Amino acid sequence: MKPTEFVKVNGQFWGEHLRGVSEHLTASHSRELPGPLLFPRVMVLTETPDWNILEFTGISREYRSLEVRRQKAAGIDQYFADAAGSKPVVILREADVYQDATIATETGRSALRSRFPGAEGLIGRELVGTGDGKLLQFAPGNYSVLNRVLLASGQRLHWTFLAIAIHRSEPADKYRDFLQNLVNSVPHLDPVGTFAVPRGELDQLLKADPFGSTYHQGLHKTTVGEFLQQHEEILLSAFDATQLIREPVLEAEDGTAVTPDFILERSDGTHIVGDFALPLLETAKDGKKRRRSTTAAGDGTQYGEFFKNAENRAFAKTKYGVELNDPRRLLVTTSQDAVEVGEAEAVEVVDYDTVLRLYLAAKS
């Protein structure tokens, strides 16, 4: 299937399907649903030399026509930021569908327990392997579906709203038949491409701006400080934190300084030093706002030497009241971008859609 055909089939099929779900279920069967039904906002279509990949991103409290984004990746492993290896946790065979599940290495599963207590409500069916750090192996000539699946490997965490990978040798008509069979195979009140959250507190939380459209919208007009102010409660809840320090300036004894986007103090007394790889604005020294690149914040590895110095840590404690002894280092990315970081074993990478989903899970 040519990339143009892939775009056309997905645009038509998912537009009709999700519009129908919104008009029918939310209007006629709202009382039968377990709670508010949430929809994606963006359909990311990725072309690799051998695979076409569809992924839904963004979380919205109502259906709107999907924004379509097209991109290329060097390979399917790069797209899913998967490690090279020969011992995957899961081998995806012909037309495999994984739904409401967690696919993780032992290290990734352990990190979920300690770092994201609220994620336990997302775990579902568990597939955990020792292996060599690799999560997925895609067999050639097949369709693979990850529907509401949490991928946890080493320092990376990603929740897939819906991801479908198909080999480029598959024809368009066969792919459309596959999609129709997929949506027909699930319960009527749990349609593919959506998920429901319990009624109650979440009804009010979903009225917040991040769920009115998607966090992508308006980012080019938003500074890091404004983003942190608007999303403070989400970050605190998702990371089980009690305090957020916005845009700290941490001076070193040699006169230099490191400037992470934020510091989180968790309920267990540990800390996270984080940066955004999001297309936000930054305020320059002359006071003007400029768009920074998604790599401008660095990858978190630059803080290693700083926190090894006792005098640097003492200064941070005096200025901000936090003891930064061996803090976790975090990079928050967009869902569709595979970000390469140095010292990958020391820097956690989490996309913001996953942060939003962790927040909803923690509040459920």
Q: Residue 41 corresponds to which amino acid?
A: R
**What secondary structure does DSSP assign to 176-233, as a single string?**
HHHHHHHHHTS-TTS-TT-EE--SSHHHHHTTSGGGTS-TTTTGGG-BHHHHHHHTHH
Q: What pLDDT, on the 0 to 100 scale, is given for residue 163?
A: 96
Q: Could you tell me what percentage of the chain is helix, strand and coil, using 3-state DSSP and rounding each to the nearest 5?
A: 30, 30, 40
Listed range (44-48, 242-246, 306-310) with the worst mean pLDDT: 306-310
Q: Residue 234 corresponds to which amino acid?
A: I
Q: What pLDDT, on the 0 to 100 scale, is given for residue 13?
A: 97
Contact 339, 218 (CB under 8 A): no
Contact 72, 123 (CB under 8 A): no
Q: To 10 degrees, what angle do helices 172-184 and 3-28 make? A: 20
Q: What pLDDT, on the 0 to 100 scale, is given for residue 243?
A: 96
Give the mean pLDDT of 14-36: 87
Residue 181 has pLDDT above 90, yes or no: yes
Q: What pLDDT, on the 0 to 100 scale, is given for residue 284?
A: 64
Q: What pLDDT, on the 0 to 100 scale, is given for residue 343?
A: 43
Q: What pLDDT, on the 0 to 100 scale, is given for residue 300?
A: 59
Local structure of residue 118 (DSSP, 8 states): G
Give the containing element (helix H, strand E) for 22: helix 3-28
Give the C-alpha separation, 39 to 230, whole Å: 21
Contact 292, 247 (CB under 8 A): no
Q: What pLDDT, on the 0 to 100 scale, is given for residue 104?
A: 94
When pLDDT is cut at 50, 70 and 90, the band that residue 352 belongs to is confident
Give the C-alpha separation, 73 to 90, whole Å: 22
Give the C-alpha separation, 194 to 192, whole Å: 6
Q: Which pair of structure tokens corresponds to residue 137?
A: 């192996």
**CB neighbours (10 Å) of residue 114?**
10
Q: Which pair of structure tokens corresponds to residue 307?
A: 């926190």
Give the C-alpha separation, 44 to 337, whole Å: 10
Give the mean pLDDT of 296-325: 80
Q: What pLDDT, on the 0 to 100 scale, is given for residue 344?
A: 44
Q: Nearest 5 degrees, angle CA 120-CA 56-CA 343?
A: 65
Average pLDDT, rounded, for the chain: 85
More confident residue, 163 or 205: 163
Residue 125 has pLDDT above 60, yes or no: yes
Q: Nearest 5 degrees, angle CA 228-CA 360-CA 26?
A: 120
Task: Walk me through the domains of the chain, giving residue ranges and CATH numbers.
Answer: 3-204 (no CATH), 217-333 (3.40.1350)
Residue 156 has pLDDT above 50, yes or no: yes
Measured in whole angstroms, the distance separating CA 205 from the mean position of its chain's CA atoms is 19
**CB neighbours (10 Å) of residue 316?**
26
Shortest CA distance to 291 belongs to which of 193, 221, 188? 221
Give the mean pLDDT of 249-269: 90
Listed range (127-131, 144-148, 340-344) with the worst mean pLDDT: 340-344
Residue 203 has pLDDT above 90, yes or no: no
When pLDDT is cut at 50, 70 and 90, the band that residue 297 belongs to is very low
Q: What pLDDT, on the 0 to 100 scale, is given for residue 222?
A: 78
More confident residue, 90 or 364: 90
Measured in whole angstroms, the distance separating CA 193 from the mean position of its chain's CA atoms is 16
Greatest mean pLDDT range, 65-69, 145-149, 219-223: 145-149
Can you give the length of the chain in residues? 364
When pLDDT is cut at 50, 70 and 90, the band that residue 101 belongs to is very high
Q: Which pair of structure tokens corresponds to residue 170?
A: 């598959």
Listed range (102-111, 216-225, 341-350) with the worst mean pLDDT: 341-350
